[in-house]
Amino acid sequence: GAVVSQHPSWVICKSGTSVKIECRSLDFQATTMFWYRQFPKQSLMLMATSNEGSKATYEQGVEKDKFLINHASLTLSTLTVTSAHPEDSSFYICSARAVTSGLDGETQYFGPGTRLLVL
Amino acid sequence: RKEVEQDPGPFNVPEGATVAFNCTYSNSASQSFFWYRQDCRKEPKLLMSVYSSGNEDGRFTAQLNRASQYISLLIRDSKLSDSATYLCVVRTISNFGNEKLTFGTGTRLTIIP
């Protein structure tokens, strides 16, 4: 159990376009999902916390109008990188915290990540 | 000062050796602590939680010293499959109830046959 998927796994796009990344909890419900970004040779950095049915909470320095987050259901959160630029090229990873009984409610389960390259 | 600091390595050790990683964190209000492993170009996977009493899972032993704000991971009888980057992770809950995991930059381990 506790599988999180992301789609797409990689994307190459032109500068100025918008890219949507999906994060799904496949076999459990998640009221809270998290979006991280990892640049080469750096640590994962939390971008925002996504709560089902409410607005996302963004970390300091992360532009909410540029990184749009929607958490419309207990199993799906989306991150849209609007007007992407080369500096947005990174590894985007989501995680989900389980509310299903039988799973550790403290543990975040990570998706496989999405590699974004903006040309 | 970084919130979570780790020696980036790399650590290159022969198969069968014992290797230890250390980590320090700056936020004394941190509540939970973890070691994750991350393989190249993959997502991080939970290795184990870390408790003040120390905990062991097979060849892996983790220890937390809250007074020194120090976390350690010991790997005994290392295997080739242990080659990965090991991430020290600290969990905090804000006054508003917001959860945050803060990751170290990771320590790269390569086990040599």
Reading chain B (113 residues) residue by residue, the pLDDT tens digits are 789 999 888 999 999 999 999 999 999 889 899 999 999 888 899 999 998 888 999 999 999 999 999 999 999 999 999 999 999 999 988 777 778 899 999 999 999 99
Q: Which residues pair with B60 in a beta bridge?
A: B57, B75
pLDDT of residue A72: 81
User: Residue A107 pLDDT > 80, yes or no?
Assistant: no
Q: Interior CA angle at B44 toward B41 and B45, to 5°?
A: 130
Chain B interface, Cβ < 8 Å to A: 4, 32, 41-46, 87, 91, 98-106
φ, ψ of residue B79 to 5 degrees: the values are: -110, 160
Give mean pLDDT, residues A26-50: 91
Average pLDDT, chain A: 90
* Per-residue DSSP letter, A59: P
The whole-number pLDDT of residue A39 equals: 92
Please identify which residue in the block is written with the tokens 């950095």.
Answer: A45
**How many C-beta atoms surround the C-beta of residue A56 within 10 A?**
21
Give dist(CA A80, CA A85) in Å, integer.
13
Residues of A with a Cβ under 8 Å from any B Cβ are 32, 34, 41-46, 49, 57, 59, 91, 93, 95, 97, 106-108, 110-113, 115
H or E element, residue A86: none
- Stronger pLDDT, A104 or A71, i.e. the higher one: A71
- Our CA angle for B106, B110, B112, nearest 5°, is 170
Complete DSSP assignment for B17-53: --EEEEEEES-TT--EEEEEEE-TTS-EEEEEEE-TT
Q: Which of B43, B99, B106 sits opposite A93 (nearest CB)?
A: B43
**Smallest CA–CA separation between B45 and chain A, in Å?**
7
